[in-house]
Every structure is written in C-alpha cells, then in structure tokens.
Structure 1
C-alpha cells in the first residue's frame, strides 16, 4: 500500500510540476501569499454555508467568558477574511491577527459588514509569536482552520495561554487527520498531502491537533471529533470545542 501511495503522490506532483519549479527557485512563497487570500475568500463562503450550524453551536456561549471589564475582548488568530465575525456577539471587542498582510482588503470588507462588533486592530504576526499582545489581556482566543498550517501548534498554544486571562477560553474548529487508517479519506489525505501543503500555503491534511490540545496546560478541555458535511472530502474530519485557562 505504501508503494501505491508513493506512486500516486509522485503522479500528483507531476501534475503540479510548475508549482514545484517555482518553489525550487524560491518564487512560490511570495506568489502563494498573494493568491491565497482570493482562494480563501471563495472557500470561506462555501465553508460557512456547510458549517453554519457547527459554528453557531461552537460560539453560542462566548459571552460566558466576558471578563471584569463587562465587554468581551476577543483575539482571532489566523483571522483570514473575517469569516467568523458574524458569529460573534454584539459589542464584542475584536483584535485580528494574521501572518499574511494580503488579507487586509478582505478583512476590511468583513469588518464593514459586521458593524455589531468593535474592531480594535489588525496585527500582522505569526500565531507562534504574538509579542504585540500583552499577557493576560484577552477573554477569548479564536482559531479556525489555522492549526493545519502553523509551524508549531505547541508554540501557538503556549502563546494562547500567555495572552488569555485566568479563566479565559480558547475556541477552535480545525480539520485534522482521519483517525480511521482504513478509510478512503485517510488514503486520499496521504496521497494528496505533499502537493496540497505546497499549493495551499502549508495546509497539512495529516495534523493530529487534538493531541496537542490534550497535552497543553489548560484547566478544562471540551473537545469532540466531528465529520464535516463534505462528502469524501479530505478535510471532512474535524475537531471542535474550547479549552479554559
């Protein structure tokens, strides 16, 4: 089976040969950063339609974590196009963070469409190093479809714990590796992953993000595995939930 997977991986790589050539000469990263926001802008609309009930359920209790100020302060890491804004409660103070500055145009559009929120600032930074955010300064951190592409989820979670106040919460919704090694989804994840990661800005189909969350120093973890309503899609295995500092 491993030989078959390797043959199929090479076959897919050959179909994407121009991208591999660009990457070899160090040109693909800059090209990818410019086109990825356009891809995500289209994808986010489709994803939100399919996952609307999941997101509503996930963010339903955000207000439970409102801090002493009486206003919910929320940091969204890997904010992308702002696809989550409509699910946040009225009056929520939102700080956005993303390592790709090219999302700014799409983010501004989403902010204008969601005037029930109070937008603080947009930070261009990696989630592994959020030094611009003070220790214990936010009630909630939100992360959706980001863990797949970060270099170190352990470093991200360490930063999340640093910026959260005591009793604050980390909300997550992430696609992950299939836990059923005999499934077709697992098979397709394995053959697609090398080229998928290259084309889609480091997105890894085989991340075991739930293990990192279980190993992090949260006082509570509410996590469940779900299958997103995307038939035979390699990103259909998901985890969702929240963790309390």
Structure 2
C-alpha cells in the first residue's frame, strides 16, 4: 500500500486552506456549530439503515436493570438523540456530549420520547466524565462515538469506572475493514478528508482490538455491513460488554 501515503499527501495539500483555518482556531468552532445541523439530517437516514440491528441490540437493556428497579442509563456522544426511541419506558437517562450546539436537537428528541426520565445533560467528552460518580449507572451506550474520540482507551476506562459491577456498555461503531481489502485502502486514503469534515471521525479505527484489551468480564460482539462492502463506512461492529 505504498500508494496510500502518496495519495494522502496530495489530499493534505488540497486541504491546506482548512489546516490554516484550524491553526487559527476558526475551523473547529465553525464545525462545532454546523455539525449538529448536518447530523440532524444524516442521523435519521442512518438510523433507518440500522433500525433492525439497533432494535435487536437494545431489546436486552432491561436485563441490566440494577437494584433500584429502574434502569439508569448514560449515553455518551448523544448527539441528536436518535437512540431514545429504543430505550425502555421509565429509563432514567443522562446524556453526555462535548458539543453544546447539539442541545436544541437533543431537547426536541426528548420531547418526542416522553417515556424516558431525563436525569441530566452533561457537556463533556467521553474521556472525561467526572460529573458521573463511580459505579453510578447500569448501562452506558455509545453509538458512532469511538470513531471520533481522542483516545478510545481513555473513554473505555471511563465507561468501566461509571458502570456498576455487572453493568454493560452497549456499542455500535463503523470500524477498519480487513487490511487486505480495497475497502481498507480507500479508508486510509479518505481518512484525512473524513476527519476534517466529520468532526474528527476516523474511518480506520481498530475498535474491536481496544474493546478486547479492556477488563470487561464478557464481550458480545459481531460484525456486519451497513452499505455495499466497498463503501469506507460499511464495516461495523455491534454488541455489548459486561463489567
């Protein structure tokens, strides 16, 4: 794959104006304001494509209800709140996202899902959930989050910290394709552009490997494809890990 670095250099040259804006601190603030509007349009389309997978995954949430008798759930990278429809009635929900500009879309989703009990809205990255006490939640949910965080390992450490013993982390992520495939080739080539316009999202994260390295007592994970195999965002993993 000697062609990949060459193509990436060409792409970086084309992206030079954006890199300059980023150095000046202008591109990041622009993206944070615009990205929620983009996701408000894109997220429902994606949700439709993975509806059956999400419905099947989240149908098992209730079995992790804690001693209180009510499921306490923390969603990291909540975004526009497209997962709310899948959560069980009476669920005590805390939402966390580092981008405060998602707030109005999030509140709209909450108004449409009044079967949930909102506990709090936290503006924080997945790597730093200090507002959430140790062992405070039954379930943590993160969908399409680990692809864009600064450190997957730090996020997973925080997930383990805030989960009670026996609680679970539910995930759905697009991931790196097989390294011998053309899909992986295009993932590596397109990564610089994707990160610029996708709020730091990487197409080639080895998320499964990071999950396997963590101290979960049980890991239930399977692979699937959302779109045709050659599309860079097609390879996905879905499942849950128990503390």
Q: TM-score, normalised by structure 2?
A: 0.96
Distance 1:167 1:98 in 2: 25
1:38-77 mapped onto 2 (5 Å cutoff): 38-77=37-76
Distance 1:230 1:89 in 2: 32
| Offset of residue 22 of structure 1 | 1.2
- Please state if 1:90 is matched with 2:89: yes
| Offset of residue 114 of structure 1 | 0.6
- Please state if 1:217 is matched with 2:215: yes
What is the SS of the residue equivalent to 2:50? helix
Instruction: Quote the residue 1:142 is aligned against.
Output: 141
CA contact (8 A) 2:183 2:229 kept: no
Q: What 5-or-longer segments of structure 2 have no aligned partner?
A: none
CA contact (8 A) 2:229 2:235 kept: no
Distance 2:227 2:92 in 1: 31
Deviates more, 1:45-54 or 1:16-25: 16-25
| Offset of residue 15 of structure 1 | 4.4
Instruction: Quote the residue 1:162 is aligned against.
Output: 161
Instruction: Quote the residue 2:183 is aligned against.
Output: 185
Instruction: Quote the residue 1:234 is aligned against.
Output: 232
Cα 1:236/1:54, change in 2 over 3 Å: same
What is the SS of the residue equivalent to 1:173? strand
- Please state if 1:207 is matched with 2:239: no
Q: What 5-or-longer segments of structure 1 have no aligned partner?
A: none
After superposition, the CA RMSD in angstroms is: 1.4
Instruction: Quote the residue 1:196 is aligned against.
Output: 194
CA contact (8 A) 2:139 2:170 kept: yes
Aligned length: 243
| Offset of residue 8 of structure 1 | 2.6
Instruction: Quote the residue 1:172 is aligned against.
Output: 171
